[in-house]
């Protein structure tokens, strides 16, 4: 296939490489030229650099994928006279894997429908390690036939490709899961800190929680207390995981979506405020499990 890829950052770059590893031809664009060169130099025969989203959209590709930071970037790349929609043939399908608010995905789907074009929202979980290993989970919203049509392509970058329903539902699954993760991480951090302050050994405490009713992914797979588990960010200075600022972004998407749906999310809102405080302290670059530092003596 001839595939366009816009957004070659921490996630997009390894995802693009996995498409290239499978033999596809890529036309790529990123506002950072160095990111384009880094991908192009690995497969000079099969990677073309494009000058803009407009030029890429005009290249008559089979599929364009986007992996951008947030809703504003996605809107700027898709909409307006220089955007994908204004310059793309209806034969080119579109897949946006950025994590953005469900309403923006639904707005884009409406534009696509008006132009007889296909767009799927397909945000991912699994982090940069999953992007490199090709083991991401894709949560896909949009037309089911189109999901089935592109499932094999997404399988080159992920191992779970899950259909979530109509447009925007991929984003709904993603932001709701991450809201729960933010809440459960804070609960685990609070409980671990209290238990240790009251005299428990952290590993013994984690062992009890993990065989009792308090067990969750944050306690048994990604424990925030340093030294409890090996090979997790808390045991290497909270480096190299899922940044607290990215968690803050996803909590913001969840609380905004909740406002629009008039659905109360008191714990999600509290988690957002606490991650906001953490970010203001200049710690947003640390892994999100570092939130435990708010509950510990420094």
Distances (CA, A) of 164 to 147, 170, 253: 10, 6, 18
Q: Pick between residue 12 and residue 170 the one whose CB is nearest to ligand NAD.
A: 12
Q: Does 242 bind ligand NAD (CB under 6 A)?
A: yes
Q: Annotated catalytic, 259?
A: no
Q: Does 127 bind ligand NAD (CB under 6 A)?
A: yes
**Interacting residue with ligand NAD among 18, 27, 35, 167 (CB under 6 A):** 35
d(CA 140, CA 146): 10
Q: Does 252 bind ligand NAD (CB under 6 A)?
A: no
- In 10 A of CB 115, how many CB atoms? 14
Distances (CA, A) of 212 to 92, 215, 219: 51, 6, 11
Closest CA to 100 of 21, 175, 150: 175
CB 255 within 8 A of CB 153: no
Q: Does 181 bind ligand NAD (CB under 6 A)?
A: no
d(CA 162, CA 175): 15
Q: Does 150 bind ligand NAD (CB under 6 A)?
A: no
Q: Does 72 bind ligand NAD (CB under 6 A)?
A: no
Q: Does 32 bind ligand NAD (CB under 6 A)?
A: yes
- In 10 A of CB 264, how many CB atoms? 10
Q: Does 31 bind ligand NAD (CB under 6 A)?
A: yes
Q: Pick between residue 128 and residue 276 the one whose CB is nearest to ligand NAD.
A: 128
Catalytic residue (one of 174, 203, 259, 283): 174
Which residues are marked as active site? 174
Q: What is the contact surface with ligand NAD in residues (CB under 6 A)?
A: 6-12, 29-32, 35, 67-69, 73, 76-77, 98-99, 124-125, 127-128, 242, 246
């Amino acid at each position: 296939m001839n595939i366009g890829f816009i957004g070659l950052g921490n996630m997009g770059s390894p995802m693009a490489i996995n498409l290239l590893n499978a033999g596809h031809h890529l036309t790529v664009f990123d506002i950072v030229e160095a990111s384009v060169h880094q991908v192009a130099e690995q497969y000079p025969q099969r990677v073309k650099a494009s000058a803009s989203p407009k030029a890429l959209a005009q290249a008559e590709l089979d599929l364009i994928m986007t992996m951008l930071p947030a809703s504003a970037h996605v809107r700027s790349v898709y909409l307006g006279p220089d955007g994908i929609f204004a310059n793309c043939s209806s034969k080119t399908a579109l897949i946006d894997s950025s994590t953005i608010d469900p309403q923006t995905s639904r707005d884009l789907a409406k534009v696509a429908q008006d132009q007889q074009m296909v767009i799927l929202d397909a945000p991912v979980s699994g982090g940069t390690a999953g992007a490199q290993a090709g083991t991401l989970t894709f949560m896909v919203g949009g037309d089911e036939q189109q999901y089935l049509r592109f499932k094999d392509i997404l399988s080159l970058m992920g191992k779970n490709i899950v259909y979530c329903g109509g447009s925007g539902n991929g984003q709904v699954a993603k932001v709701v899961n991450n809201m729960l993760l933010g809440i459960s991480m804070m609960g685990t951090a609070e409980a671990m800190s209290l238990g240790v302050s009251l005299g428990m050994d952290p590993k013994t405490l984690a062992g009890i929680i993990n065989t009792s009713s308090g067990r969750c992914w944050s306690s048994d797979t990604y424990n925030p207390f340093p030294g409890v588990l090996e090979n997790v960010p808390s045991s290497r200075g909270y480096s190299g995981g899922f940044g607290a600022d990215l968690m803050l972004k996803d909590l913001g998407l969840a609380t905004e979506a909740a406002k629009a749906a008039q659905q109360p999310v008191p714990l999600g809102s509290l988690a957002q405020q606490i991650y906001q405080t953490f970010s203001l302290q200049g710690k947003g670059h640390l892994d999100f499990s570092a939130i435990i530092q708010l509950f510990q003596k420094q």
